[in-house]
Amino acid sequence: MREENISFSAGSITLEGLLQEASEERGVVVTHPHPLYGGDMYNAVVGTIVRSFQKKGYTTLRFNFRGVGKSEGHFDEGEGEQQDVISALAYLKESGISSIVLAGYSFGAWVNAKAASKSDAYDSMVMIAPPVAFIDFQPVTAIPKLDLVVSGSHDDIAPPALIEKMLPVWNPEARFEVLERGDHFYVGYNDRLEETILSNLIQ
């Protein structure tokens, strides 16, 4: 199976995405890193997350935030992007997917965290390298559906020590995996990242 180009509405704008339909019940929405630093849905780490879920038979949807690629609109500092996330979740839900994971890398993880309390369309959340040393996470409080957080031991944008301080607020029951010697971009560590995600997913 291959990912197909799709589009969906987020308020008054249209976003582009890539959809691979596999399961009729389980799906994942995957969000990408910071648009102002070249982040888009084709990012290598985003691809690793998508492949991990595909190997477990999930329907996958990744998309470009507003103002990125062919997605309409403009960068909105994480505010309008929350609507993008909510709309992507609604797109999968309306297609019949009953159980949805919300997964994000870096900036995408931050946007997901901010949007967490604004939609009940997802069942669990996965954060890859939440950029706690780069973007203010203080407005984010409890994330009861947070299931897994992954960071690299050499990640100075998502430092494990700082994440550990925030986990009791987000969800003390969430699993936290640290990839030894991995940095924020997972260069040379994509296979390790994939193994970590796979080991934490339900078959």
The string of pLDDT tens digits covering residues 136-151 is 998 888 999 999 999 9
Tokens of 68: 């990125």
Average pLDDT over residues 98-126: 97
Query: pLDDT band at residue 132, thresholds of 50, 70 and 90?
Result: very high
State the chain's mean pLDDT as an integer.
Answer: 97
The pLDDT score that the predictor gives to residue 143 is 97
CATH of the domain at 63: 3.40.50.1820
CA 2/CA 4 separation, integer angstroms = 6
The model's pTM is 0.98
142-158 CB burial, b ≥16 within 10 A, e <16: ebeebbbbbbbeebebb
Q: Cα angle vertex 190, ends 185, 192, to 5°?
A: 120
Give the Å distances, CA to CA, from 42 to 35, 47, 105, 134: 12, 7, 12, 22
d(CA 130, CA 105): 7
The confidence score (pLDDT) of residue 102 equals 98
Strand stretches in the chain, DSSP E? 4-10, 13-20, 26-31, 59-63, 99-105, 124-128, 146-152, 175-179
pLDDT at 71 over 80: yes
Query: What is the number of domains present in the chain?
Result: 1
- What is the gyration radius of the CA atoms in the chain, in angstroms? 15
**Rounded to 5 degrees, what are φ and ψ at 99?**
-125, 120
Q: Give the residue numbers spanning the domain of 34.
A: 4-199
Structure tokens, 74: 């403009």
pLDDT of the residue at 1: 80
Spatial strand order of the sheet with 99-105 comes to 4-10, 13-20, 59-63, 26-31, 99-105, 124-128, 146-152, 175-179
Checking if the pLDDT of 60 tops 60, the result is: yes
For residue 23, how far is the Cα from the chain centroid? 19
Please state, in angstroms and rounded to a whole number, the distance separating the CA atoms of residues 15 and 100: 19
Write out pLDDT tens, residues 5-59.
999 999 999 999 999 999 999 999 999 999 999 999 999 999 999 999 999 999 9
Residue 203 has pLDDT above 60, yes or no: no
User: How many other CB atoms are found less than 10 A from the CB of residue 42?
Assistant: 12
